[in-house]
Structure 1
């Protein structure tokens, strides 16, 4: 009898337990603060079960009430949601080294929490939350096990930016001959502004997207991390009325010459963890520049032995001699690399014929210079062909591959990259992506991924009439936007006057090699220019590292000026560039950065600012004053003599 009564009351007991757990979950906090309490993200549900979030810093709004949710082929998670469970707060430490970055060793503590929701039909969706000293992040996750392929029709995630904010945003170019490739200008805009005067027809805004908010007291960068083969690379929709920037998927026609499907929506079986939506927050723009939150959220390195991965500098003949593919020209740049102690030389398009005729790869290896070669994306998209080609190149003595013309953020392309990095690592090959999307933390997971283009770099002295006038300004914006996402193949030091004449000073161009971070710095310009340089500049190029142990932001004014302190082993520098047409005074306490040194050497503009340099040496001072030339720069190296 007792057993029958217990069985009879079982539905009531299950219902009571469920109601109790639901009440308990609903009463638990759906917010998460960073360990020091500065950054906080809070989830909330409307009476219709619509999910929203907001982000604050020290109680002040950074992202105001913004929508969350996914609309899938069989389930809807945009309304009718209720809380099932709120996990306890967990603390994790992300300690790792980067082969290329502003700092070598990262050691950050992150707070994490997961909130599980169910929709009207009982299907589950989890929102994972992360907070840290550098910002907050969230992602969607489906925990169920199901081999059936699911499709997301729409992601309604938005980022609500206050009306009086200002931003630096880059148009996301529509698919075309060489687009999208993240090679447009960053424009200074206000939330709600439409896209005006892009380089190419555009369908949205790129991420990373930079804003100054909270009455100019804070900076915020919107970005992605952890994008893999289960999701496309995302950008922001063009319509931002009211300051609401919404997520957009890669466009259907972003195929270039790759064999992609007609479906541009995210598809996957379950379980399914989607990319992190990253919101980097700082009191100064320099906090954004130095953030590693994107790599903190990326998977740890999948390469056990990274001793063969060596950052360095490379000579590169294409910029100065784009039509000359002769063995003699490639060999000249091999000799140039050897004379400057550069570890690498890059043989760009046309190298195969030159190698068959003149053995340019064997010549480079015989001189102790590591050859890298250019390749076309379609030749590396098919896994079997890619692995075969990588083995052939490695057997030839090639040490790295520059793979060009991806021009797509589609899911299939995002899926290609991790397997490409892995296949390359098996042959001890380094990777440089061109005509491509921005990195999304991949250089932590695959340290052989050394650099990527996805930048309006110096090749646009050939192609863009507006580039000379805007280049200096862009050079003081990109370190706070594109370069935060990952290593940037800007191809610095382009002194020869091309189709669209340069306006930046020669020192400004030289300084960009030390402002941007790139695992391999591909220097532009000719052998003749390098050999004409004064000894002090030649010595700087020989000593200059390609990655840094420590970086400090001294002056951080996007679109205006940037000054950085950089250190690598016993090398110590201060580097600055002016993004404006104005003369700008600079005052620094050099003694603060000169511990262990007695003097400093400064490289600045010479008699002809566009083409020449002047070097002077002084004792260390605590009240050093300088004047930035218009579109100018300077490089200080601390020395003992």
Structure 2
């Protein structure tokens, strides 16, 4: 037993009991605590020596030990000498909303809420809003006031203090202005998996969200949601002494030229929500906190939003594939497969040109396929040579370009190479989204930050990269060798709350790369990974080499999902997930660990269901199909680096 740490916790508990008995207006200990609707989660707040701390308990297990709260602004300190002035009555918050694409369609959110108002000796106030739902905790800072005076938040002291026994699955963030053509930071590093809390990040810039932790069988996934143009994206510090992870702001270089990196603005002011999904692994993976706490959908016509699959030549063909003839072939391919979209990637403005793009868009429309075009976001923050480059930096030019291509019939844009998480760079994202909505263009961001629930607020944001995706497999054999484990952490982290443009599925050959995952593994990624538009990597040639039943499966894929059901798995090892779309269940599994034998209970899909199972052959060289009629139990052999799909036929 760690006696000094135990004694400290006992003294803090005694302090909170004494404080609650003495604090004016606090009639019972529940005034500084909050429970979830099912009473399994409990928040406790501690105001001691003028500082504020919180902790999170699940039943009798402490998930987060006492953790810090507070803000330091350029003109006021709201981190010390704070006095608790007011505690609100308990409020029940309910929200029923619909997503146009995502892990679920109709979502019901319910949470218990309390607000706590503190003041410093100068009378300057800070309000903390806490919500507890059955799947986790959310909290937000609010600063009330009015006027034109501009403030800057220099530090947010929020921390997440994990028990010493906890393990972490976390992604470092690259240093700003590093990497190819200075294009970092983007969220494209490899995860540290199952490391002890307190393990320093291998990169000094810190760790990104979502960050996954496990302690004695309980799981937490930490992220943020509801990020607007008045705040920056945050992250976790590289060092976490004794397992306490501190929230930090991005570097000053991560700003749009001439704009702020740190939160800068006028009152009233609210921070993004800090969210912590908590419970067993199923609860965490199925959680919708990331969209529950996001801002409501824009009050604009979104009838142009069309989720689905996309053909995309650049994944395997790279720059040389961006020609008129090859793009026409991919439009034909999309039409033949029933894919809704075709993405034309880099340098199209010179290798094809606007006039020929118009021809392709018109031709695609006749085939029932929507065309999307690539743009380089970049200004001065990197030296990437791809183009069109810099056309979106100024509002007037961006709006004119968006309207021009919309008038041509282009359906969406992919925009690459952003400059970090500073407040003004976040504002640039939102400017683009608002202008794209006006032009009725769907959006895909690459070289980018984490979406943080934006797909609810801006439903035309179909997907974002923020992941070390398939393209990295095509660049480096060493990463291809590790790809299976990397894919097996993403359903538990990056892809829980937000759409992810990994661009999955290679069924044939990757030029100059020895793929280590099986065809079954690759096929299963179409269900395991969620994206509003799923850009599938396989080429027309590689696709049409596959068995007819594989093509039938790909043609049957729904555009989006109505429900998500986590069946079983473990981060970095294996995952089995079921998603419902077009009133049919699709179940898939991928395995990077030791060979397993699965017994899958299919009763969640109802009685009398028939299924088709596609899995790897015994020698792993091909795919085979089996019919499972009127069954509620499926037994599946599950070798390492393999996968399968199982989909309902009635």
Q: TM-score of the superposition, structure 2-length normalised?
A: 0.90
Q: CA deviation at 1:419?
A: 2.8
How far apart in 2 are the matches of 1:326 and 1:269?
A: 49
Partner in structure 2 of residue 17 of structure 1 = none
Runs of 5+ consecutive residues of structure 2 not aligned to the other structure: 1-21, 379-390
Q: Tell me the distance in 2 between the aligned counterparts of 1:157 and 1:550.
A: 33
Deviation at 1:596, TM superposition (A): 4.5
- Deviations for 1:36-60, whole angstroms, at most 9, x for unmatched residues? 21122222111x2011111111132
1:221 aligns with 221
Residues in 2 aligned to 1:174 and 1:130: alpha-carbon distance in whole angstroms: 34
CA contact (8 A) 1:591 1:620 kept: no
Deviations 1:382-413 (A, max 9, x none): 22222111111101111010010013111111
Query: Hey, what's the Cα distance between the residues in 2 that align with 1:517 and 1:303?
Result: 25
Contact 2:474 2:480 in 1 (8 A): no
Q: Are the counterparts in 1 of residues 527 and 586 from structure 2 also a CA contact under 8 Å?
A: no
Q: Residue 594 of structure 1 contacts residue 638 of structure 1 at CA under 8 Å; is this kept in 2?
A: no
* SS at structure 2 position matched to 1:476: helix
Corresponding residue of 1:184: 189
- TM-score, scaled to structure 1: 0.91
Query: Hey, what does 1:601 align to over in structure 2?
Result: 612
| Residue 228 (structure 1) shift | 0.9
Query: 1:279: which partner in 2?
Result: 276
SS at structure 1 position matched to 2:268? strand
Aligned to 2:419: 407
2:206 is aligned, of 204, 207, 211, to 204
Alignment match of 1:489 (pick from 476, 479, 501): 501
Instruction: Give distance in 2, aligned partners of 1:37 and 1:22.
Output: 25
Tell me, what secondary structure is at the counterpart of 2:201?
coil
Q: Which has the larger radius of gyration?
A: 1
Specify which of 295, 301, 317 is matched with residue 299 of structure 1. 295
1:8 matched residue in structure 2: none
Q: Which secondary structure state, in structure 1, belongs to the residue aligned with residue 146 of structure 2? A: strand
Q: What displacement does 1:592 show?
A: 4.6
Moved more, 61-70 or 34-43: 34-43
Alignment RMSD: 1.8
Partner of 2:10: none
Q: Kindly tell me: are residues 25 and 382 of structure 1, through their superposed partners in 2, closer, same or farther at Cα, counting changes over 3 Å?
A: farther
The 1-side partners of 2:317 and 2:205 are apart by: 34
Could you say what secondary structure the match of 2:285 adopts? Answer: helix
CA spacing shift, 1:596–1:350, aligned 2, 3 Å: farther
2:582 to 547, 557, 569: 569
SS in structure 2 opposite 1:352? helix
Deviations 1:423-463 (A, max 9, x none): 11111111101000111111111111110000111101133
Q: Give distance in 2, aligned partners of 1:356 and 1:309.
A: 24
CA distance in 2, matches of 1:115, 1:195: 34
468-477 vs 63-72, which moves further: 468-477
State the distance in 2 between where 1:479 and 1:337 align.
27
Q: Quick one: distance in 1 between partners of 2:206 and 2:513?
A: 28
* Gap runs ≥5 in structure 1: 1-20
Q: How many residues align?
A: 606
- Residue 312 of structure 1, CA deviation: 0.9
Matched, 1:627 2:622: no
Is 1:522 the counterpart of 2:535? The answer is yes
Where does residue 341 of structure 1 map in the other structure?
338
CA shift for structure 1 position 317: 0.5
8 Å CA contact 1:22, 1:84 repeated in 2: no
User: Any conservation in 2 of the 1:317–1:347 contact (CA below 8 Å)?
Assistant: yes
Instruction: Decide whether the 8 Å contact of 1:441 with 1:485 is kept in 2.
Output: yes
SS at match of 1:23: coil
